[in-house]
Structure 1
Amino acid sequence: MTVLRTDDADGVRTLTLNRPHRKNAIDAELWDALRAALEAAGRDRGVRALVLTGAGDAFCSGADISQGLSAVHPVYRMRTLTEVTLLLHELPVPTVAKVTGVAVGAGWNLALGCDLVVATPRARFSQIFTRRGLSPDCGGSWLLPRLVGLQQAKRLALLAETIDAEQARALGLVTWVVAEDEADAFVDGLTARLVAGAPVALAQTKALLDEGATATLREALAGEARAQAANFATADVREAYAAFADGREAHFTGAWAVPGTGAGRRKDEE
């Protein structure tokens, strides 16, 4: 059985954690598969949005501890987790977590590492680490205080409480709660809107917002200026202006369109 399913449709790549018999707990094989899949998605210009979800009745129950402690030193095991976390956060396309069932520990932090989170009413979340004698990983210690503030982050991490989808939404940890039978259609519609967006502008916007969490105003303004220069160098800005004038929807490609740079340019460089 493939531990990670990859499906492509209309510019959307869906990665499905596929160990439903273990509620998609992540073992060494799945960590390696996730790392390879995220690396591939970051290189593929055909991918305009990415969905992360789980097979069966769970999103992800965290790291798989069913086989007990590993003989591999934790320093080496954590290296893979770190690489996966960074690849997910730094992916240049918008990412959506579709959460049904449990999302706990590293699984919840992978969901939080996505740009948008869609959950169903039966979703349940927990920073379960302290119940296992551990502390947060996969970016949880960095994400939680930025998303919910320090006190609520400490509540979630120290007490390892389980909260439901509506509680998570009230805290700003879930973007939408959608009925179970509507979740697939909702995510399809959401990703279609993201795919229709200007890819360079979306990548710049995502990076600016992520960097802005720790930037000064002066640093943020400098970043915005650099981002706009990159945006104006695409055909998408002209297309947006033309579409506005024509009263039609714009068709964005992210193509490079600086005057005088067309000579000798290959199609795959656009």
Structure 2
Amino acid sequence: MTSLISSERRGKILSISLQRPDKKNALTTAMYETLTGLFARADQDDAVAVIHFTGSGDSFCAGNDLNDFMAAARHGEADSPGRAFLQQLHRQRKPVVAAVNGVAVGIGVTMLLHFDFVYAAAGARLRLPFVDLGLLPEGGSSALLPQMLGHRRAAELLLAGQGFDADDALKMGIVNAVYPADALQMHSWSMAERLAGKPPLALQQAKRMMKQNPVRPLAEVIDSEVDDFMAALAGDEAQQVLHALMKPVQ
């Protein structure tokens, strides 16, 4: 575990928290690797029934760290730690409860589509700016959001990059409920405790049944998205946008 991620088992609940508030909990390669390991081990640990996931400071997760973005493009990392993390979320057997305590951007939003219960703090802002960065949707979002919202509403988020707040996310079904910031953790933890008290095998099997894809396996969607995402990341369009973002302010 890195110092940028904390984890602690409390009873049957594994608590995981992003601890990079100065960077709005943007994810680095090392953080992806740590998260993938934590989620994978939780699935194999009979002492863990549920995972509770949140951020720290005023942000949930601001997406990918730009420096890691650029390094991935230079090294052509098709089998990136980000891909491994997303695939782990897709195949996660045990329920995950998320507390969105603030800003969520990019993968900070798309990961929510794989969690089973999502609660957000009032006023939390969310955005999917992939196209604006010259990039493409990831995390299965090109399949999951149109399924959830219909094409036109999904286009507002994925093509127009329209930002939305916690109340909008509630109306769209992306989150289960919105709570005042100071009550968020209490409510999300209460659900984790409720789930932890249920028969674990039935809980996992019910989740598996809910996630069966009758058309195209989501694992294939995620893989093809990552391939396209990495190709776009290495292209001139994304490089120009990202380099401009990284220039120091005069």
Q: Give the TM-score normalised by structure 2.
A: 0.81
Matches of 2:95 and 2:168, distance apart in 1? 24
* C-alpha distance in 2 between matches for 1:100 and 1:28: 22
Q: Which has the larger radius of gyration?
A: 1
Higher RCO structure (Cα 8 Å, ≥6 apart): 2
Aligned residue number for residue 46 of structure 1: 47
Q: In 1, distance between residues paired with 2:212 and 2:115? A: 15
Q: CA deviation digits over 1:130-149, x for unaligned, max 9?
A: 12110111222122122212
Alpha-carbon contact 2:86-2:139 (below 8 Å) kept:
yes
Runs of 5+ unmatched residues, structure 1: 216-270
User: 1:31-88: per-residue Cα shift (whole Å, max 9, x none)?
Assistant: 11111111111111111110111111100000011466212214133xx222211211
Q: Which residue of 2 aligns with 1:10?
A: 11
Deviations 1:4-52 (A, max 9, x none): 1111112111111111111000011111111111111111111111011
> Which deviations, in whole Å up to 9, do the C-alpha atoms of 1:147-177 show, x marking residues without a partner?
2122211221001111000011101111110
**Contact 1:3-1:33 at 8 Å conserved across structures:** no
The number of aligned residues is 213
1:22-41 equivalences under 5 Å are 22-41=23-42
Cα deviation 1:76-135 (Å, max 9, x = unaligned): 33xx22221121122211111110111110111112211111001121111111121101
Q: Equivalent of 1:72, from 51, 71, 75?
A: 75
Query: What residue is the counterpart of 2:199 in the other structure?
Result: 198
**What are structure 2's unaligned runs of at least 5 residues?**
217-250
- Aligned-partner Cα distance in 1 for 2:172–2:123: 17
Query: What corresponds to 2:210 in structure 1?
Result: 209
CA contact (8 A) 2:101 2:184 kept: no
SS in 1 for 2:54: strand
Compare 206-215 and 114-123 and name the one that shifted more.
Answer: 206-215
Residue number in structure 2 paired with 1:244: none
8 A contact 1:3–1:29 mirrored in 2? no
| Secondary structure class of the residue paired with 1:75 | coil
Q: Distance in 2 between matches of 1:67 and 1:201?
A: 39
Q: Which amino acid aligns with 2:138?
A: D
Using the size of structure 1 for normalisation, the TM-score is: 0.75
Distance, in Å, in 1 between the alignment partners of 2:168 and 2:120 is 11
Question: For residues 69 and 93 of structure 1, do their structure 2 counterparts lie closer, same or farther at Cα, with a shift above 3 Å needed?
Answer: same
Q: 1:72 to 1:156 in 2, by over 3 A?
A: same
| Whole-angstrom distance in 2 between the partners of 1:68 and 1:51 | 27
Matches within 5 A, 1:1-270: 2-66=3-67, 69-70=70-71, 71-77=74-80, 80-211=81-212, 214=215
Cα separation, 2, equivalents of 1:67 and 1:191: 32
Q: Take 1:90 and 1:68, find their aligned partners in 2: how far apart are those partners?
A: 25
What is the CA distance between 1:212 and its match in structure 2? 5.3
Q: RMSD of the alignment, in Å?
A: 1.6
1:74–1:133 distance in 2 versus 1, CA, 3 Å: farther
Q: Residue type matched to 2:57 in 1?
A: G
Calculate percent identity across the aligned residue pairs.
Answer: 30
